Amino acid sequence: MRYFTQDGSRLIWRNNGETLIISPWGPDSMRVQSVLMGEIRDDRWALLDQQPTEAVLDIRDESASITVGKLTARITMDDWHHYATLSFYNQKAELLLRETAPANALSLRSRKFEPHLGGDFTLTVTFEGRDGESIRGMGQYQEETLDWKGSTLELAHRNSQASVPFYISSLGYGFLWHNPAIGEVSFGVNRTTWRAYSTKQMDYYITAGDTPAEISRHYAEATGFPPEMPEYGLGFWQCKLRYWNQEQLLNVAREYKRRNLPIDVIVCDFFHWPKMGDYRFDPEFFPDPAAMVRELQDMGIQLMVSVWPQVALTSENYEEMRQQGLLVRAEYGEQVGMRFVEDSMFYDATNPRARKYVWEKCKKNYWDAGVRIFWLDEAEPEYGTYDFKNYRYFLGSSQQVGNIYPRCYAQGFFEGMRESGMDRPVNLLRCAWAGSQRYGALIWSGDIMSRWEDFRRQVCAGLSMGYAGIPWWTTDIGGFHGGRPESPEFRELLVRWFQWGCYCPVMRLHGDRRPVEKVFRRDGTEVLSSGSGNEIWSCGEEAELILEKYLRRREELRDYIRDLMHTAHLQGTPLLRAMAYEFPEDEACAGLKDQYMFGSRYLVAPVLYAGLRRRDVMLPAGCSWRNVDTGETYAGGRKVTLPAPLDRIPVLERI
């Protein structure tokens, strides 16, 4: 029997209704697809077009292999079950990854298609566990973890959780689960198990490389490089929940300029609109948006405006969008996706017509007034119950395709802004999936608490996003929920968070500070409240002086950050680099999660606990290190204890 065939550069295996195809997909990279009872679909959820790549195939009766540069895939047939098992090797013939075997009498399947009667499949794909392997990446999860070995992760988006299913293994390969279905992955000791709760086929991408940076470049070649960061992305962004009228926002910008403080962006947050889904300023509170933008631009400040994908049932656009099929649809019950301030449903970002409709509204009411940056909030999207089975998109059920929503959301604005004449749009989003980076997505870590434990988790989240191919990343400095400017405890947290924010890809101050300020219309109707002050002078003189110091340091780093951003644009290399990413051969760096490299030059050791005034720092071997504040130098290859008074965090320059 003929199990194996060759189709151009593709290797194909067929048996008992299953078709398995391995295709070259760029340097040292392959795409692996399988379908039961059907033909392979070329769904481009994240992958770009196949790059011309030479492949060497070797086909025999009971086995076959395909080699693409440094990566070889071998398919072997089990004598008992006549089942194909895949193994992947590097150029040294070292095993990288292998599917679990049928295990004789156990009759296991490494690719299990479990049918939904009358529908598609629940898919489970399993690989052997490997001793000593570290798994890093996978997007943003609110855990104080960098190595996911031994962990189980939900493959779904939530507020502050972004599932980006690409990881880099310490064994020298990268793996993308190229499937936007809701599911989970378990990186167990004995096996790795991927599961999609509802899907049509199996689809993943694997690449080999000698360093994490090489793997990052291959992945970016396959899924897209981020655009160049505009100049305003290098400086400081001022934000709070929320500047609720035009004069208040302008007065804050004027005060920054009066104090001669550097600022690149100021943000107009949510509910500046009459109703969610109107996609325009409320004229009572923002009577002349174009004049506001002009004054800001004269000060050298860009205005970023919040956009939500929710469309309230009372919005002026709701009935037209419902009639035109531009909204997400609930399978059962009320057509309501979220209840916040009032009932609403999300627009369907997977629908090209819906993307065009929303962009045209935003172009007319924001872009034409001079706005050039958008804050695309609620990008998961944030359903009131996260009942993924109950929603349907243009591209399919949320259960099958829901994780692609934030990528499509970014795509709509990126393409609209490009068509409107902007060369390199970059917009802020609260979520991402594989490929989001090519649509100018700058991700922030969501509505996290103003607590030290949340601060520590954000350091890990930013490093994991870098591993997962998302280099533009930021966080709400000080945390989002809570934080009282008069509290000494919060002031210390804010100072430490702000110092770390200076060494993040984008430095952005945001939060919902307590107590709230109630807001009313002229007729006495109460609208959404505003938080307390969240400017650098809001927490007292001692804090202000420290925050100003790091604002000015950010300006001093502008040329360096511009170079880092350019490298990310060309190579896909993250700005936030785990120590193991930058020094993969140094075993002392493998488990470090509370210090990192900002590019290749600066080692940053944020202070992550209240009251701490000194901390241990591991200095990688092979180079010397200079303290940027004291000028003191240290030999590498050892641990040192460095002073960390409140007005500084340990930062060392590689020399």
* Residue with tokens 């031994």, as numbered in its chain: 150
Please check whether residues 530 and 584 belong to one and the same domain. no
Angle at 112 between CA 107 and CA 115, to 5 degrees: 120
| pLDDT confidence tier of residue 536, bands split at 50, 70 and 90 | very high
* Residue with tokens 């349907």, as numbered in its chain: 392
Q: In the prediction, which pLDDT does 268 show?
A: 98
Closest CA to 213 of 653, 624, 574: 574
3-state SS, one letter per residue, for 424-440: CCCEEECCCCCCHHHHC
- Section 39-63 average pLDDT: 95
- Section 91-100 average pLDDT: 98
Residue 260 lies in a domain: yes
| pLDDT confidence tier of residue 229, bands split at 50, 70 and 90 | very high
Q: Torsions phi, psi of 2, nearest 5?
A: -100, 95
Could you report the per-residue pLDDT of 434-489, keeping only the tens digit for each? 999 999 999 999 999 999 999 999 999 999 999 999 999 999 999 999 999 999 99
Q: In the prediction, which pLDDT does 78 show?
A: 84
From the candidates 380, 476, 535, 582, give the one annotated as an active-site residue.
Answer: 380
Residue 119 lies in a domain: yes
Task: Please say which residue of 549, 575, 601 terminates a domain.
Answer: 575
Please check whether residues 557 and 599 belong to one and the same domain. no
Q: Torsions phi, psi of 418, nearest 5?
A: -65, -45
Q: In the prediction, which pLDDT does 581 show?
A: 98
CATH number at 613 reads: 2.60.40.1180
Burial of 464-486, coded b for 16+ CB within 10 Å and e otherwise, reads bbbbbbbbbbbbbbbbbbbbebe
Please check whether residues 249 and 267 belong to one and the same domain. yes
- Distance, in Å, from the CA atom of 410 to the CA atom of 418, rounded to the nearest integer, reads 12
| pLDDT confidence tier of residue 118, bands split at 50, 70 and 90 | confident
Please check whether residues 406 and 503 belong to one and the same domain. yes
From the candidates 447, 544, 582, 594, give the one annotated as an active-site residue.
Answer: 447
| pLDDT confidence tier of residue 217, bands split at 50, 70 and 90 | very high
- Distance, in Å, from the CA atom of 626 to the CA atom of 606, rounded to the nearest integer, reads 16
Please check whether residues 514 and 613 belong to one and the same domain. no
Q: Does 447 participate in catalysis according to the annotation?
A: yes
Please check whether residues 215 and 253 belong to one and the same domain. no
Percent of the chain past pLDDT 70, that is, above it, reads: 100
Q: Does 380 participate in catalysis according to the annotation?
A: yes
Residue 103 lies in a domain: yes
Q: In the prediction, which pLDDT does 103 show?
A: 80
From the candidates 99, 221, 264, 377, give the one annotated as an active-site residue.
Answer: 377
Please check whether residues 76 and 57 belong to one and the same domain. yes
State the residue range of the domain holding 638: 577-654
Q: In angstroms, what CA-CA distances link 404 with 86, 420, 463, 565? A: 27, 25, 22, 25
Task: Please say which residue of 528, 558, 575 terminates a domain.
Answer: 575
Closest CA to 415 of 406, 425, 407: 425
Residue 80 scores a pLDDT above 90: no
Q: Give how many domains the chain has, as a whole number.
A: 3
Please check whether residues 106 and 59 belong to one and the same domain. yes
| pLDDT confidence tier of residue 52, bands split at 50, 70 and 90 | confident
Residue 230 lies in a domain: no
| pLDDT confidence tier of residue 248, bands split at 50, 70 and 90 | very high
Please check whether residues 463 and 586 belong to one and the same domain. no
Could you report the per-residue pLDDT of 600-636, keeping only the tens digit for each? 999 999 999 999 999 999 999 999 999 999 999 999 9
Q: Does 377 participate in catalysis according to the annotation?
A: yes
Between 69-83, 380-394, 516-530, 559-573, the lowest mean confidence (pLDDT) is in 69-83
Task: Please say which residue of 544, 575, 606 terminates a domain.
Answer: 575
User: How many residues comprise the chain?
Assistant: 655
Please check whether residues 242 and 262 belong to one and the same domain. yes
Q: In the prediction, which pLDDT does 538 show?
A: 98
CATH number at 424 reads: 3.20.20.80
Cβ-contact 508, 266 below 8 angstroms: no
| pLDDT confidence tier of residue 117, bands split at 50, 70 and 90 | confident
Q: In the prediction, which pLDDT does 569 show?
A: 98
- Section 366-391 average pLDDT: 96
Please check whether residues 428 and 540 belong to one and the same domain. yes
Average pLDDT of the chain to the nearest whole number: 97
- Distance, in Å, from the CA atom of 114 to the CA atom of 123, rounded to the nearest integer, reads 6
Could you report the per-residue pLDDT of 8-29, keeping only the tens digit for each? 999 999 999 999 999 999 999 9
Residue 329 lies in a domain: no
| pLDDT confidence tier of residue 104, bands split at 50, 70 and 90 | confident
Cβ-contact 364, 141 below 8 angstroms: no
Please check whether residues 142 and 182 belong to one and the same domain. yes
- Distance, in Å, from the CA atom of 146 to the CA atom of 189, rounded to the nearest integer, reads 16
421: left (phi over 0), alpha (psi -120 to 50) or beta: left
- Distance, in Å, from the CA atom of 574 to the CA atom of 577, rounded to the nearest integer, reads 6
Residue 81 scores a pLDDT above 80: no
- Distance, in Å, from the CA atom of 572 to the CA atom of 569, rounded to the nearest integer, reads 6
Q: In the prediction, which pLDDT does 626 show?
A: 98
Q: In angstroms, what CA-CA distances link 273 with 157, 340, 639? A: 26, 14, 53
Closest CA to 427 of 506, 315, 370, 347: 506
Q: pTM of the prediction?
A: 0.97
Residue 333 lies in a domain: no
Could you report the per-residue pLDDT of 474-495, keeping only the tens digit for each? 999 999 999 999 999 999 999 9
Q: Which two tokens stand for residue 193?
A: 């198990």
Residue 626 lies in a domain: yes
Residue 248 lies in a domain: yes
CATH number at 29 reads: 2.60.40.1760
* Residue with tokens 């909030």, as numbered in its chain: 377
- Section 367-375 average pLDDT: 98
